[in-house]
Chain A
Amino acid sequence: MTISELEAVIEAILFASGDIVNIKSIAFATGEKEKTIKSVIENMADRLDERKSGVQIIQIEDGYQMCSRSEYFEFLKKIFKAPKRKVLSSTLLETLAIIAYKQPITRSQIEEIRGVSAEHSLNKLLEYNLIKEAGRLEGLGKPILFETTTEFLRYFGFSSIDALPENVADIESIKKEAEMEVESLRSV
């Protein structure tokens, strides 16, 4: 099919679906290659952004979803119920940050880093569907492993885990950075 036909079909699919549509589904429905679909959607999304359209297309991992542009929230909330905007406390954010960068991770590993009990945070984050249980770790006690969910990605606007701000959670790299700084100061 032509590009504009493909665009139209994708538009219809994303509209009809309530939820994220996997690119594979779109490929199946249209018979087009994923690579083609990807670039077409990105093009569509850019054009929507350019004219600040009421609708935007976001990417979540291997899928796409249409949603309203946040700029127009104040108008929408007059008609539609404004969902309870949960604001995460710093404790929850810290726990979430650890899970996001170190997933999959167990509760005691999280507690090792934070120095406090993670039970309450984990329960809350599970309740908010920002993390999920993801199997168990082999070994003593077979503790539960935690990972982030697609809801987590959507909440912070990340298209995927790889899109998280540069992974500075690598201690070795931080140390090397610091050492380099010290060296450069010495040589000056």
Chain B
Amino acid sequence: MKVELEVKLEKFEGPMDLLYSLIVKNKIDIYDIPIAEITEQYLEYINYMNKYNMENLSEFLVMAANLIEIKSRMLLPKEVNEENEEIDPRDDLVKKIIEYKIFKGIALDFNKIQQESGFSYYREAEKDVVKKVKESVPKEISEILKDADANMLFDAFKEVLKRKEIKVEKIKKDFEPIKPDVFTVESKIKYLKSIIKKGEKISFFYFFEKDSSKNEIVTTFLAMLELIKENLIYIEQGENFSDIIITRA
């Protein structure tokens, strides 16, 4: 049962894909896989991949090693488990292949559904609902900033920078400069969102607790402004120069 040229021309997604394809093309009984032959064909394909520099070769090698190991175990006397039954070295592999086959089948069913199902309109697609809600609820700047204003926000931010600078200065004297980290506003937005849950109140300065560099502080601040813009958080200040409280909308 030599592997035909058609197999060689196919590009396989991964080792399971290749293995399963060999099994199907050779009409092999999954419950009685001729390991030696399958291993031989599998390795043939790997050589071919190597020759033509196909990608992902490394992923295929793990399975190759696995097949070779199973093959050699088949040559040795069979091991026995606690119930004195023989352990077939192919069992784990068979389980894996069957599971792979099952999900391939389910995926085909899913595909059938997605191809055949028509399309229904819903009265309001998700995006529209959010937009409508946003438009209908008046967001006065004063409502969001609740007795706070942009100047106050800026002052507080300056305070944060000052505090951090003192901290950073102290540490700077003892260490060599380290390569700067790259912080993105998006990741900071995600982080801030995860920290503050709906209805909870958090101190403005708390947001910057973990930040270590100016770069990071600025990014966090930008992320916070973005969240304010998106009406996702409210800010208010108790008294002048006191901490600013941030609430999740």
Contact = CB atoms under 8 A, between A and B. Distances in A.
Contact of B99 (A71, A80, A116, A171): A171
Interface residues of A, number: 47
A85 B121 CA distance: 12
Contact of A18 (B19, B96, B118, B123): B123
B109 A174 contact: no
Interface of A: 15, 17-19, 56, 58, 65-71, 73, 76, 80, 82-83, 85, 87-88, 90-91, 93-94, 96-98, 100-101, 112-117, 155-157, 165, 168-169, 171, 174-175, 178, 182
B14 A115 contact: yes
B113 interface: yes
Contact of A68 (B102, B110, B121): B121
A80 B124 CA distance: 12
A127 to B, nearest CB: 14
Interface of B: 13-17, 19, 31, 56, 59, 63, 95-96, 98-100, 102-111, 113-115, 117-126, 128-129
Given A83-B119, A169-B106, A115 B15 contact: yes
A165 B102 CA distance: 12
B106 A18 contact: no
Listed residue (B13, B100, B102) with the most chain A CB atoms within 10 angstroms of its CB? B102
Contacts of B115: 87
A115 B67 CA distance: 14
A77 to B, nearest CB: 8
A70 B120 contact: yes
Nearest to B117: A157
A155 B116 CA distance: 12
Given A87-B114, A174-B98, A178-B31, A66 B107 contact: no
Interface of B is mostly: helix
A68 B120 contact: yes
A156 B120 contact: no
Contacts of B96: 112-113
10 contacts: A67-B122, A67-B123, A76-B121, A83-B119, A85-B119, A91-B13, A94-B107, A97-B110, A116-B14, A157-B117
The 4 closest A-B pairs by CB, nearest first: A70-B118, A18-B124, A115-B16, A116-B14
A116 B120 contact: no
Nearest to B121: A68
Contacts of B103: 94, 97-98, 101, 113-114, 169
Listed residue (A67, A91, A94) with the most chain B CB atoms within 10 angstroms of its CB? A94
Nearest to A97: B106
B27 to A, nearest CB: 16
A65 B13 CA distance: 39
Listed residue (B111, B123, B125, B126) with the most chain A CB atoms within 10 angstroms of its CB? B123
Listed residue (A100, A101, A112, A114) with the most chain B CB atoms within 10 angstroms of its CB? A114
